[in-house]
Amino acid sequence: VKWTEGRGWHDAELVPYAPLALDPANMTLHYAQAIFEGLKAYRQPDGSVATFRPEANAERFQASARRLAMPELRAELFVAACDALVNQDKAWVPSEGEQSLYLRPFMFATEVGLGVRPANAYLFIVIASPAGAYFPGGVKPVSVWLSEEYVRAAPGGTGAAKCAGNYAASLVAQAQAAEHGCDQVVWLDAIERRWIEEMGGMNLYFVYGGRDGAKARIVTPELSGSLLPGITRRSLLTIAEDLGYEVSEGRISVDDWKNGNADGTLTEVFACGTAAVITPVGSVKSTRADWTVGDGEPGAVTMELRKALLDIQTGAAPDTHGWMHKLA
Ligand code: PMP
């Protein structure tokens, strides 16, 4: 779908996957007006296909567009574009458990020119690719590197938007994590450098207590303005409450993580996002200290929440919150 100043959105079309021809002075290549989304379509037990909360992705896409001075795409158009592609590619939606069709809606400037200002023309595209189970061999905890040197996002910046530049800025820290033998980066706040924000492509959850039959307490970092408001994060706030947990949004410092872990009150930490659904965090490394989270194994609460969410997505459990968007 194209957008042109004065005309709005026009010329929606479904075309075979193919390379795009770009002018060397395409404004996106220079000034990075580029935003995207990620969501999945799952095969349902009756053979039909459904996407998970596409309206929530549409809403976040609109917020990202506003932050990058790009035109907003109405939620109905966003969802209709995803639906059209899924309908076309229905045969590619896998039917095995956690497998899915991953959808990548994105928008970028198409105007040609070197002046720094919002472009006057844009393109919105959705592409898709089948995605296997994230953990084909069983759920495995990830190791994380606390990035004390680099900042992903700062107050007033673009951290809450899903824009390309945020990911470009995070790659060097991801490489540093790999150099330290870690799978993922954990970002801290930009000002005090002590509050846990999120992971490279996932939000975080902290589980306290829950041993000896007691019900665990669950906390996720509050939306500080510099972390991405994940749709999985938002869904888990509801699911955890449904399952009877005391769940809240709050601030968690690096010291809380380390100390709560040492005295055993912090029992589990997990990350959540569209790609991996829920991933246990097994160990932490930083320039100051390394530690194991709980016993380093996937925790009971983590696995319970993971199953509850996947059951809704795959249609094994009833969709009590109206999150599944069924296609004809
Ligand atoms: N944080 C970042 C930086 C991400 O890229 C993602 C993936 N979109 C998430 C969190 C998780 O968001 P969601 O649950 O909507 O996939």
In this predicted model, what pLDDT tens digit does every residue of 269-310 receive, in sequence order? Answer: 999 999 999 999 999 999 989 999 999 999 999 999 999 999
Pocket test for ligand 1, best of 35, 188, 205, 274 (most atoms within 8 A of CB): 274
Pair (125, 192) in one structural domain: no
Whether 317 shows a pLDDT value over 80: the answer reads yes
Q: What is the pLDDT of residue 253?
A: 98
Write the residue with the smallest CA distance to atom 4 of ligand 1: 201
Work out the number of other CB atoms within 10 angstroms of the CB of residue 323. 20
| ipTM of this complex prediction, to 2 decimal places | 0.99
Distance (Å, whole) CA 133 – CA 249: 29
* Closest of 106, 110, 124, 103 to residue 1, by C-alpha: 124
**Dihedral sign (CA 238, 77, 69, 15):** positive
Alpha carbons 323 and 140: distance in angstroms, whole number: 27
Determine, yes or no, domain membership for 319.
Answer: no
pLDDT band per the 50, 70, 90 thresholds, residue 210: confident
The protein residue with its alpha carbon nearest to ligand 1, atom 6, reads 201
On whether both 124 and 229 belong to a single domain, the answer is no
165 in the same domain as 114: no
SS3 assignment, position 70: coil
- Whether 72 and 158 map to the same domain: the answer is no
Domain membership of residue 37 as a residue range = 2-133
Domain end residue (candidates: 114, 133, 152)? 133
Comparing C-alpha atoms, which of 139, 181, 182 is closest to residue 280? 139
Q: What is the pLDDT of residues 14-31, one digit of tens each?
A: 999 999 999 999 999 999
Mean pLDDT of the chain: 96
Ligand 1 atom nearest 274 alpha carbon: 16
Query: pLDDT (tens digit, 9 = 90+) per residue, 242-276?
Result: 999 999 999 999 999 999 999 999 999 999 999 99
Q: Closest ligand 1 atom, CA of 56?
A: 15
Cα(33)–Cα(118) distance, integer angstroms: 8
Tell me, using a 6 A CB cutoff, whether residue 228 lines ligand 1.
yes
Q: Which atom of ligand 1 is nearest to the CA of 235?
A: 14
Looking at ligand 1, which atom is closest to the CA of residue 57?
15
Q: Is residue 229 part of a domain?
A: yes
pLDDT (average), residues 72-78 = 97
pLDDT digits (tens, 9 = 90+) for 106-128: 999 999 999 999 999 999 999 99
The finding on whether 105 has its CB within 6 A of some atom of ligand 1 is: no
% of the chain beyond a pLDDT of 70? 100
Is residue 64 within 8 Å of 38, Cβ to Cβ?
no
Give the domain CATH number at 119: 3.30.470.10
**Residue 14 Cα to ligand 1 middle (Å):** 27
Q: Is residue 320 part of a domain?
A: no
Q: In whole angstroms, what is the distance from residue 251 CA to residue 296 CA? A: 23
Clarify whether residues 122 and 165 are in a common domain: no
Residue 216: pLDDT band (50, 70, 90) is very high
Distances (CA, A) of 30 to 23, 61, 74, 118: 11, 21, 27, 12
Question: What was the pLDDT predicted at 97?
Answer: 80
Domain boundary among 115, 133, 151: 133
Please tell me whether residues 152 and 106 are part of one structural domain. Answer: no
Res. 50: pLDDT tops 90: yes
Report the alpha-carbon distance of residue 176 to residue 189 in Å, rounded: 18
The rounded distance, in Å, linking the Cα atoms of 161 and 60 is 8
**C-beta separation of 72 from 62 below 8 A:** yes
pTM recorded for the entire structure: 0.97
What is residue 135's predicted lDDT score, i.e. its pLDDT? 80
Mean pLDDT score, 82-99 = 92
38 close to ligand 1 (CB < 6 Angstrom): yes
Residue whose CA lies nearest to ligand 1 atom number 9: 202
pLDDT score recorded for residue 149: 96
Q: Is residue 174 part of a domain?
A: yes
Q: Is 210 left (phi over 0), alpha (psi -120 to 50) or beta?
A: left
Pocket probe for ligand 1: among 158, 203, 231, the residue whose CB has the most ligand atoms within 8 Å is: 203
pLDDT at 250: 98
Structure tokens that stand for 131 in this block: 């995605």
The verdict on the CB of residue 158 being under 6 Å from ligand 1 is: no
The finding on whether 232 has its CB within 6 A of some atom of ligand 1 is: yes
In this structure, the strands spanning 217-221 and 8-10 are unpaired
